[in-house]
Structure 1
Amino acid sequence: MTQNNYDVLIIGGGMVGASLACALAGQDLRIGLVEAAPLNVSEHPGYDDRSIALAQGTRRIFQTLGLWDALALTATPIRQIHISERGGIGFAHLDSRDQGVDALGYVAEARLIGAALRAQLPTLSGVDLLCPARLEQVVIKPEAAYATVHFFNEDRTVEIRAGLLVAADGAQSPVREQLGIAAVRWEYGQHAVIANITPTLPHENIAYERFTAAGPIALLPMSDQRCAVVCTVNDSEVPAVMALDDADFLSLVQERFGDRLGPFVRVGRRQSYPLFLLKAREHARARVAVIGNAAHTLHPIAGQGFNLGVRDVAALAEVVAEARRSGEDIGDLRVLSRYADWRRWDQRRTIAFTDALNRLFANPLWPVRAARNLGLLAFDLCPPLKRQLARQTMGLDGRLPKLARGLALTA
């Protein structure tokens, strides 16, 4: 058995785990990044590439980490957000000019975000890429000065001891499960059907969130005048929707969204995934921090999930860097509790916002519908409320980590 020791061991080399490795590099730490799949940088983008909404705060964090230049040429800015309900008179809109920013957010292809991260990882000093590797066992003994992890890599079992173990391994987190960290999960009874489509009219950098009796539908502006569509359907309807031919699927999207962008003329490959809310009961314990989807998985409404995970990264990296400089044990519960306490309000507020929004607009009762429409109209006429919502969804509200303020962790 091969044995290695690390200060920080990150389990999960997806976008959140890789972002943490980039954030912690240069902090006089030996870091290991464990990922089951090879970390290859793939080549050409395609019409069907899945896209992710990046909040303004996430863009600032990526810029501070030196990642944004690789994305800036292809990321599509969101200048406005238009919110409406099908069949109702109420609507609201947010405009980047009113908020004093160049964009409320950006839409970037997930493959290109991953490529930017994976291109940077091999250049980082003090970071070892341990992949492909299959996690086998995680053990943390009471009062131990390290966590012990066994994984299978290149036909041998490797044992790693780490002062801090970070679970960045997704909603089904094996680390969380092996350590007995409980999580609450709520099934929405819905799937998100995602695809890229091309409308007749230019999107003009406007993102749309439209609520319908059948579920919310979102259109995000992309490059080449494409739009990413996220269409929510009930679980029972998924097989039929996925079996539609392209023309019938475009008709379904058109019927739910309306004619604001003209007829839709092209659609790419469809994918679907179940929607659920997941919240870990603990985000920190001695030797362990839980981040990203392993800590919280949200409904995609308002596009907050990945951005919430990146804010976890920025906060945890700052807490660890400061503890390291002051000579503290970075895996001590008193240190990691600072991370959990810092992130608690943002996580709870964002989860409550996305969950409540989905439930509110799913209510079919006409008094509720009438109140929703009046609420949208009132919201649109109240600049302070719009500013508060914009700051929250941009990830620029509350206590901001250094990385979100454009400051290096050593500053």
Structure 2
Amino acid sequence: MFLLQALRRACARYLAPARTQLLRCDPDAISFPPGNHLPDISSQQTSDALSLAAQHLNSLNVVVFPTETVYGLGALALKSDASAKIFSTKGRPADNPLIVHVSSFTMLQTLLPPGYTMSPAYQALTKHFWPGALTLLFPRDPHIIPNIITAGQATVAIRMPSHPVARALIAVTNGPLAAPSANTSGKPSPTKAEHVLRDLDGKIPLILDGGPCDVGLESTVVDGLHADGNIRVLRPGGITVEEIERVLKLELAGGKEDTDIVIPKVLVHRRDYRDEAMEQAPTTPGMKYRHYSPSVPVTLLHTSTQPPDGQDSISVTSFFASLHSASGAKAKVGVLASTDSKIWEHVKVEDGVKWHKYTLGPVAEPAVAAQRLFDGLLTLEQEGVDLILIEEILEEREGLAVMNRVRKAVGESRWIDFNSCE
């Protein structure tokens, strides 16, 4: 009997999924000397962690690593078998393309078709925003980029991350990495290593912990390949539309108002134009499927915009009164709103509701809301709330990207009137 029990315990240990290894990487210990594609690493612990991660990647495994935007689930981009593990690990639809990450312009050149030359607009954008949170669409060379990366599209999305750990890992691995956000498909993107561990523990061999992500939202994706020369923002993100417009004007026209030089227009998908065909067969992530949703319902509170025709607003007092539980058991409601929002005046201790609060920073600083949004959703989900309320923010600067993500996360929208006396 004792021998049989020991055998069963041994088999259970053998068959149980291995726990994910979490290794700390110090971003401050990594630097890139000018003209050198390989990083200088002053910490042995960080160097060892990067070497182990590179070994996993070159063995066609997946590895999680930090970027300045969100944590990424990486695999060798030029190996179909490796990239396939991204889709199986996340449960990601096969028609949702991946972004390829490079560590240098030299690596970028190895991916582009022979004879391709970047446009003046692309040269201006890479000069100012690479390394950084900007993804550009390039023509795809099918002899180099596997079909699985682009979901059969004729273009490939590429960026050069600025996070030292991400860039060092790509360089040490000596190959470009495909890397969507490191989460189960459809859930909020992780901005901390603990977010990834909570979601994917046992499904991935290794997480490199480089601390919280600075930007907090995925990269801005730009398509500048159209014949009209205009820049199309397919997904707003860490680089704002205003920044892109400023750089194009600065670099292409020298900042002058009166010039014969034609400055490309910056058009935002779904704000300035629609492309139904591309939405059905997207060239970049985040366009077709619902994303960023926690496991609990999310309601968007419109407090600064008018409801569409046929939709009524509700007084703020009536709305919050409706949340009170009639059963006597307290409902747990999470609230995400700007620090200086009027909402907080109505989030009070009431019978029937237990409030969980998460602030998104000042109204005037949408970059803070961008940094905190996903952490807020995941924190409230972890606290076991029954419902999450998110107040809208103005769609300016980083607020455009924040509201892009919020709209994909919510299941219901309500228009709130602060002036009604109901």
Name the TM tier (shorter chain): under 0.3
Asked which structure has the greater CA Rg, the reply is 2
Looking at secondary structure, tell me which structure has more helix per residue.
1
Looking at secondary structure, tell me which structure has more strand per residue.
1
Q: Which has the higher contact order (CA 8 A, sep 6+)?
A: 1
- TM-score calculated relative to the size of structure 2: 0.25
- TM-score calculated relative to the size of structure 1: 0.25
